[in-house]
Amino acid sequence: MTALPTVLLVDDEEHSLAAMRMALEDDFECLCAIGAEPAVALMEQQDVQVIFCDQRMPGRSGVAFLSEVRERWPETVRIIITGYTETSDMIAAINDAGIYQFLTKPWHPDALLMAAKNAADLFRLAREHDRMSLEMRLLSRTAESKLEWRRKELREGLGFENVLRAPNSPMNALIAQARQFASFDVPLLLTGEPGTGKTALARAIHYGSLRSDQPFHALNCVGAPDDQLQIELFGARRGALPGAPTNRIGLLQKADRGTLFLNGIETLSPAMQLCLLRVAAQGVYRPLGAHDEQTTNVRLLTGSNRDLRAEVADGRFRADLLYALSTAELSLPPLRARPGDVAVLAQHLLYELSSEHGKPVLGFSDTALEFLENYDWPGNLRELRNEVTRMLIFAQSSTLGPELISRHILQADPGEASMDRSAEAVLAGEGTLRDRVELIEKRILRETLTRLKWNKSRAAAELGLSRVGLRAKLDRYGVVSPHSVAADDTAEDEEER
């Protein structure tokens, strides 16, 4: 229910106050004061929209009181009540007190009520006007600084802070170099295995550059035929493509004055290498079906999964194109060479995927993170994202434990950090048959127990061993349960005795 407007009634005669109150109390919250001083006290305690004040009062007159109200509470609408003989004096005093209206005695109840309603509406409209004026000033300031705020927002949300890493990550030195190159408008070559985050780094370089308020576009060239790449990069004129009645805009035009990242350039054909060389060296290209060349002011960032110098030596890549594209080269390390980063990346991916799929979780258990950290991740960030997604799908509690991890990852013993942990490497490696079989057996034991939450009875049954035989193998290989489940393991042993 909406609160009634508050009206302050001021008079030195109680019967006049009672009469005014009776006329207004159905539509207003009425406060009464006998004289100016009690009225000031009420104003200091209450939020008053309208004042009705008698002119002739002992001590301070109505005009004198309303003049003070004008100074201290200018928003309050002021109405004075006067006798017929005082009207000429009141007209002169209206400006002094900023009086909205004056009523003459004897007043009619309907006239008093109408004056009160009009005054309350005036107060409300004045408040609305002030609010809208403030909003307009704020909108004006926002519009003036919109570009700068946009740049800041992009840099913070898509810049180098978005390249996640641990405090002591080997990525820190690479990011420091990338920051230096970002503000210099030169082409850069980013190298690294597939999935190491070359596109994310290219995007961060763009938003850390002077082109940050211009477009950023990325294109993966791997596996794309020449005709498709030409259309994607250079565009096509109307009629050059079947069923295309309009011009097709290419990425070189879309990214003009911005940044274009081309990944997988080691797969480009000799013809496409020549086309890209003209773009890199001269800033010109020809859309499909066009007779004239177009120019572009684009910053080229490129990525490669292979060593382009070796490709040049083997005659598969143009040396002049390599030099045109690589004022500097930044090499991204694989995930296996980033100790400590996997936990940070996995937690971030989990929260991101949790929000995306609407499945709230708290995080990983320490043991789960230990297994994730000790895996080699040949697929790098893509493989890590797939694994975290799979764990989230099968999670039954808010904390994701190691039993959710894929079997080939569980076979990586957390204590074997210095060893090659892949089963294929063990099978193809050196050593006696017994040593290699025992290493595989040890990994199978750890994987099975972890997947079954260290329930030894279930593990023994699955592996076709007796309880005693399983314990003998665990003792022989030194396989022990993690601290987080040690208490459950002890309780299980006691139950089976």
Q: What is the mean pLDDT of each run of 10 residues along the chain (497 residues)?
A: 85 92 92 92 91 89 88 90 67 73 87 92 88 77 57 58 83 92 93 93 92 92 92 86 76 94 95 95 90 92 94 94 94 90 90 90 87 88 94 91 84 51 55 69 71 74 74 71 49 45
- Residue (of 111, 18, 102) closest to 54 by Cα position: 102
270 Ramachandran zone, left/alpha/beta (phi>0; psi -120 to 50): alpha
Cβ atoms 456, 339 nearer than 8 A: no
- Residue (of 91, 113, 105) closest to 11 by Cα position: 105
Note the pLDDT tens digit of each residue in 468-480: 777 777 776 666 7
- Residue (of 334, 477, 336) closest to 417 by Cα position: 336
Note the pLDDT tens digit of each residue in 218-254: 999 999 999 999 999 999 888 777 766 678 899 999 9
pLDDT the model gives residue 496: 47
Neighbours of 108 (CB within 10 A): 10
User: Is 316 exposed, middle or buried, given 0-12, 13-18 or 19+ CB atoms closer than 10 A?
Assistant: middle
Return the CATH number of the domain spanning residue range 336-405: 1.10.8.60
Cβ atoms 102, 83 nearer than 8 A: no
Domain 155-333: CATH class, spelled out: alpha beta
Neighbours of 116 (CB within 10 A): 24
Cβ atoms 197, 341 nearer than 8 A: no
- Residue (of 107, 44, 41) closest to 79 by Cα position: 107
Summary mean pLDDT of the chain: 83
Tell me the two tokens of residue 269: 């054909």
Note the pLDDT tens digit of each residue in 107-134: 899 999 999 999 999 998 888 888 888 8
Separation between Cα atoms, residue 154 and residue 26, nearest integer Å: 57
Q: Which residues on neighbouring strands pair with residue 6, listed in sequence order?
A: 29
Report the CATH superfamily, name and number, of domain 6-140: Response regulator (3.40.50.2300)
- Residue (of 20, 26, 22) closest to 53 by Cα position: 20
Look at the pTM and tell me if it is higher than 0.85: no
- DSSP annotation of 333 reads P
Q: What does the domain layout of the chain look like in residue ranges?
A: 6-140, 155-333, 336-405
**Is 6-140's fold the same as 155-333's?**
yes
- DSSP annotation of 3 reads P
